[in-house]
Amino acid sequence: MKNSVIFFEVEGGNDKGPDGHRKDTIPMIMALRSQGWKAETIFYRESNFDDLLAQIPEQYDTYVSRINPGNIPGGEVRYFELLSKLCNAGVIGMPAPEAMVAFGAKDVLVKLRDMEMVPSDTYAYYDIDDFRRSFPSVLSTGIRVLKQNRGSTGSGIWRVELADERLIDTGKAVPVDALVRCTEALDNHVEEHQLGEFMELCNQYLVGKGGMIVDMPYLPRIVEGEVRILFVGETPIFVVHKKPADGGFSATLFSGAQYTYDDPTQWQGLVDMFLRNLPEIQQRLGGHSTPLIWTGDFMLDTNPDGSDKYVLGEINCSCVGFTSHLESGIQQKIADEIIRVTSAKNN
């Protein structure tokens, strides 16, 4: 055992500080070093693929991926290939690429569809023909939310509603020339299109590796906010209550949403429900260990008895940030988890 950890970053992107690193990377490195471990960071470049593959297994026990896949020049395919080869060479992946895909893809909702936290009328489309064939019928049931698999901060997440309510619940597919109002979560801006035109706009989300659209019912209580549990391993660290700006449904800071950071005990019912279901969630997503740093994002709905119901919106795990909590010592909890997992697998 080398007691050594390498952190992957990538140059560029809007998540970097003045030193070129993510603001949460160096604090994790320093927390590991304070416990006598070697910890370094390296910028991934595809041109260094072979060198990284040769050197890292010789020098490090574990890697920690701190790269937003959308910031990788040329895309994520070769980067994920490198991570897979490193894991096969005995390096502990935090997370392994297969776990990153399993937990982070938007169709996690479809895989969990018959559990208590996901509406039964949640669907996924993987190609243009299926989307064009199915979505007009689904839209006839009411307001829908479409989510692309790629992107971040609300890009490609649309609330879609019919301008003519007489087309709802007719038992017939919505005509492609029907007018729809489409609100993007990126900034709450509204566009009006004919349905056929809007579906053509969505073609971009279905092409290429990992292309998909997830389709779920719109929950009116989203105006009360999105609730995010941040985990380190299987331990909830804090809960973020993200309340949209008035009249919007986007919970991004960019759109003006207000964030409140709470102790998990303030959302005990939600936390207990999710942890109770976590073993089954892991089993359905391929049996992977939980990622190092990840979130479960929820929206509020109402049970028949009037009590709150929590609906899973997505899981994030590719590169969750936590700079707002560095003063609370979260970096030390992360370092402890890295050491725990690495030591357990090497002993």
Q: Which top CATH class is 123-219?
A: alpha beta
Which residues have C-beta within 8 Å of that of residue 94, sequence separation ≥ 6?
Answer: 62, 63, 64, 65, 291, 292, 338, 341
Per-residue confidence (pLDDT) for residue 248, from 0 to 100? 66
Instruction: Determine which of 31-40, 42-51, 236-245 has the lowest per-residue pLDDT on average.
Output: 236-245
| Res. 114 pLDDT band, cuts 50 70 90 | confident
pLDDT digits (tens, 9 = 90+) for 275-325: 999 999 999 999 999 999 999 999 999 999 999 999 999 999 988 988 888
pLDDT band for position 249 (50/70/90)?
low
Q: 334-345: per-residue pLDDT in tens?
A: 999 999 999 998
Domain 4-95+326-346: give its CATH architecture. 3-Layer(aba) Sandwich (3.40)
Instruction: Check whether 245 has a pLDDT greater than 80.
Output: no
Distance CA 106, CA 319 (A): 15
pLDDT in tens, 187-221: 889 999 999 999 999 999 999 878 999 999 999 99
Ranges of beta strands (E only) in the chain are 4-9, 38-43, 62-65, 92-94, 123-125, 144-148, 157-162, 179-184, 190-194, 213-217, 226-232, 235-243, 258-262, 293-302, 308-316
Share of the chain above pLDDT 90, in %: 76
The pLDDT, as a whole number, for residue 255 is 64
Residue 1's pLDDT is 72
pLDDT value at position 25? 95
Would you state the pLDDT for residue 251?
66
**pTM, whole model, 2 decimals?**
0.89
Supply the mean pLDDT for the chain: 92
Partnered with residue 232 across adjacent β-strands are 235, 293
Please name every residue paired with 190 in a beta bridge, in sequence order, or none if there are none. 183
Domain ranges of the chain: 4-95+326-346, 123-219, 221-325
Q: What's domain 221-325's architecture? A: 2-Layer Sandwich (3.30)
Is pLDDT above 80 for 152? no
Distances from the Cα of 227 to the Cαs of 39, 42, 105, 122, in angstroms? 33, 33, 19, 19
> Helix 97-104 and helix 77-88: axis angle, to 10°?
130
pLDDT of residue 223: 86
Give the confidence band of 246 by pLDDT, cuts at 50, 70, 90: confident
- What pLDDT digit, counting tens, does each position of 267-284 carry? 999 999 999 999 999 999
pLDDT confidence tier of residue 256, bands split at 50, 70 and 90: confident
